[in-house]
Amino acid sequence: MRDANREWVFAQRPDGEPDMDSFELRESDVPEPEYGQLLVRVRYLSVDPYMRGRMRDAESYAEPWSVGDVMAGAVVGEVVESRSDDYDAGDVVTGNGTWGDYSVLDADSVAPVDPSIADLPAYLGVLGMPGRTAYFGLLEVGEPKPGDTVVVSGAAGAVGSVVGQIAKLNGCRVVGFAGTDEKVEWLTDDLGFDAAVNYKQVDDYGAALDDAAPGGVDVYFDNVGGPITDAVFPRLNVDARVAVCGQIAHYNDEGVPTGPRKLPQLIASRAKVKGLLVGDYVTRFEEASEQLGEWVATGELGHRETVVEGLDNAPDAFLGLFSGDNIGKQVVRVSDPADD
């Protein structure tokens, strides 16, 4: 068991594309839990695109980080010291922690992890916030109906891969956009997508959509923005629904990006476009976790995690999100029981 802690600190606001200068690894003492808290040995930590927003000095849904803050995010880990009656040392839990060897978590904000359903990293993906985002975003904003054509951008990511599969479970035709042939094969061969487009190998996204979704688009689940989204909008069917979950193509833009105006395209289709934050559904998280857990346990919901080894590499894992390094959920393995 490590008797000291290391943690990544937000060192500098990025201008455009972030790089290693934004991060600094600091040695510190192992933190002390207060009453109601748990000291957790982090096994896996989550890196997520939304974290780029917290690096901006601008009010948004997630509080901006101050330079000097410890990087925060979802973790899975083992309780080493409990100051709560609800958990004991040895329990495996997930919750919002830090990019460190150890995290202190409030006991009332964590959830237990059941390794018999899935390995620990899945609790940061399909059984964590990304899975719940897919669940509520697709079902509540996308409102899929049997026979609908559902298009997903960032389809091989942590959210997109779950969206497409839930759409299939709802009787939809599903088309995904992803950035490598390996991702495309995973979507179509393993996850049951009806079609997938490697957008890095295609010049004309509109023509690719006309091939893959000849009847137009009823639901668009957007994780990406940019030219893929530009191609989808003119192909939205009457009363289509667009869930705007992420816009990773624009997260590193400085200033307001420009592109084709989309509002004129909404009148004829009467399409609905709605922004999505999973936190709005917090009172229904249990419903989602139960359903997702059941689908994972029965094998109806496939999942995959890209594991980057070692806390040292957490910034690289984060930066890799913007170049599409990950298939499924990108996580960092911080420790292993054998290391303790």
Instruction: Give the residues lining the site for a second copy (CB under 8 A).
Output: 60-61, 222, 225, 229, 244-247, 250, 256-264, 266-277, 280
CB of 79 to a second copy, least distance (A): 34
CB of 192 to a second copy, least distance (A): 28
162 contact partners, CB below 8 Å, separation of at least 6: 126, 130, 131, 134, 135, 292, 301, 303
**CA dist., res. 19 & res. 197, Å (int):** 29
CB of 250 to a second copy, least distance (A): 5
CB closer to a second copy, 4 vs 277 = 277
CB of 333 to a second copy, least distance (A): 29
CB closer to a second copy, 155 vs 240 = 240
Read off the tokens for 103: 């995290």
CB closer to a second copy, 264 vs 337 = 264
Read off the tokens for 212: 């893959």
CB of 230 to a second copy, least distance (A): 9
Q: What is the largest CA-CA distance in the chain?
A: 64
* Terminal alpha carbon distance of the chain: 4
CB of 21 to a second copy, least distance (A): 24
The H-or-E segment that residue 165 falls in is: helix 160-169
According to DSSP, the residues that pair with 106 across neighbouring strands are: 37
CB closer to a second copy, 6 vs 250 = 250
CB closer to a second copy, 171 vs 257 = 257
CB closer to a second copy, 8 vs 199 = 199
Any idea what DSSP says for residue 69?
P
According to DSSP, the residues that pair with 220 across neighbouring strands are: 151, 242
Task: Classify residue 149 by burial, with Cβ atoms within 10 Å: 0-12, 13-18, 19+.
Answer: buried
